[in-house]
Structure 1
Amino acid sequence: MAESYPVYGQDRPRRRWGRRLLITAIVLLLVLAGLLVVADRVAANYAEDRIADEVRQQVAQQQLHSSPPSVTVGGFPFLTQVLDGRYRSIGIVLRDVRGEVSGASVRLPQLDVEARDVIASLDTLRSGQGDVIARTVDGKATISYESVAEFIKQPGVQLSEQNGKLAVTAPLQVLNSQVTVRGTADLTVADGQVRLRFAELAADGLPRIPAAQALVNAYAQQISVAVPLPKLPFRLDVREVRPTPDGLAVTATATDVPINGVA
């Protein structure tokens, strides 16, 4: 009986064919994943454009002016949020916000708004009818020191931040001599205003007489003013203010806010 020997190489075509099927399946999965990512991004861009239109209307209703808003819908994937009708967060950036308050111009170089836990149905986004409600909204902005100085209405006033405090430097005429006064202010927020209170001012070379110090104290009262804030969109209520190198940073919050239709 003749002996049989194995023939090497017969399984190679089958193995190559199986490897090709695996590679083809992987490529198809990658292409499908890419298409899903593209579709998800297209849907997010559509929603961002619709929300940006609503923000423009709110800004106009508040008689404010700004550059076109930038809107970013957070969370991935976006389409699952659409189906659920609930969005984790929506970021809104308004640049060069300007408004008139008490005859003076108040400028916010940038207003950053984050709306969280936003409720919006697919029909609302598609038709523009219905409410888009954010459970919480936080806003951050900076008021330029030039805008604040307009309300003080005293020549030569320079405002800045020093060691976390609002500092002032200004020229003052005292008994036929010009001195430079310096000091810091206490900041509070009430009734939609930022209140500046300069309790004590010091002056280099001030004559050591009561009349000279009385003039400085009177000047401190003159520059202690209330700066009214423009009515912010999304019903934002200012809660905190603090000095920074760029200006007065304000923090505002609101709850259960309509993102569309109501200012």
Structure 2
Amino acid sequence: MRALRTLLILVVVFGGLFVAADRVAVYFAEDQVASKIRSSQGLGSDPKVSINGFPFLTQVVNTSLDDVEVSLDGVSASADGQAVRVTEVRAELKDVKFDSSFSTATAATATGSARISYADLTGSAPHGATVGYAGAERAAKGQVKLSGPMGEVLDGAGIDIPAAFKSLLDGKDLTAYSTVSLVDGDTVRLKAATLPELYVPGAEQRMRDVVDYDLKIDGLPSSIRLDKVTATETGLSFSGTGTDVSLAG
């Protein structure tokens, strides 16, 4: 009986040591993977990496990781020098194969996602305008709403308002709807679907020139290509998938 008890104690102790060693190895590997991804993908900082699955050491022996999650901070989009914050940038990598020297790694599949809030998207709109939710029907078409005091928005767009027309704009609000799409996997394109009557001769085309613009998302790993955008109640959500995604080397 005493021998059995001693054996059980040894099993628990060595099992605990194995788990501890396994977790230490995971933390070290996560740091190494983050560094590899940063250098190979040209990122400005190390991403946060979580290697899932247990035991980790068995995965190392098989030179294959079942599931790796990557999240990034400090990603932004830019339009004519105007920076817009991109949040919740994540990638989930499945079946990551690496060589014995850990110098190269390839994920069989990858799913990426990101988000831009309407508050952040407003930073790229003409001065005086805000970008917001367009309602369920228009959001289903991938549209967002741009609104604000008409005189202020036209002035923010650099459109001169003749004195004879200024009184026509008093108390009037501008409401326009833009369709959002993705271009080349890393660029958000906003294009006006509707504009209201602007009362100022020649203002509509000039307003379109301001409202229609591209936001280039900077700082995404080159292997993540976004292919879907959804207008939600809180902002724009992006997602994308890839196969045979190279992570290092």
Q: Deviations over 1:40-84 (max 9, x none)?
A: 11111121111111123245x25xx45x42111111111111111
Call closer, same or farther: CA 1:146–1:171 in 2, change over 3 Å: same
- Partner Cα distance (1:98, 1:241) in 2: 16
Q: Percent identity?
A: 28
- Partner Cα distance (2:40, 2:85) in 1: 17
Following TM superposition, the consecutive aligned residue runs of length 4 or more in structure 1 with deviations greater than 4 angstroms are 99-102, 213-220
1:87/1:117 contact within 8 Å kept: yes
1:234/1:257 contact within 8 Å kept: no
Q: Which has the higher contact order (CA 8 A, sep 6+)?
A: 2
Matched, 1:212 2:199: yes
3-state SS of paired residue (2:8): helix
- Partner Cα distance (1:90, 1:58) in 2: 17
Call closer, same or farther: CA 1:26–1:157 in 2, change over 3 Å: same
- Partner Cα distance (2:173, 2:30) in 1: 51
Q: Which runs of 5+ in 1 are unaligned?
A: 1-17, 203-209
3-state SS of paired residue (1:73): strand
Q: Deviations over 1:89-141 (max 9, x none)?
A: 111111222465653324223311111110013x323xxxx311112222111
Q: Which runs of 5+ in 2 are unaligned?
A: 152-160
Provide TM-score, normalisation by structure 2: 0.77
Provide TM-score, normalisation by structure 1: 0.73
Find the partner of 1:132 among 97, 105, 130.
105
Work out which of the two has the higher radius of gyration on C-alpha atoms and give 1 or 2: 1
- Partner Cα distance (2:198, 2:129) in 1: 22
Matched, 1:198 2:171: no
- Partner Cα distance (1:214, 1:86) in 2: 64
Which amino acid counterpart does residue 255 of structure 1 have in structure 2?
T
Mapping of residues 131-210 of structure 1, within 5 Å: 131-145=104-118, 148-152=121-125, 154-164=126-136, 165=139, 166-173=144-151, 175-176=165-166, 177-178=169-170, 179-191=172-184, 192-201=186-195
- Structure 1 residue 32, shift from structure 2 partner: 1.8
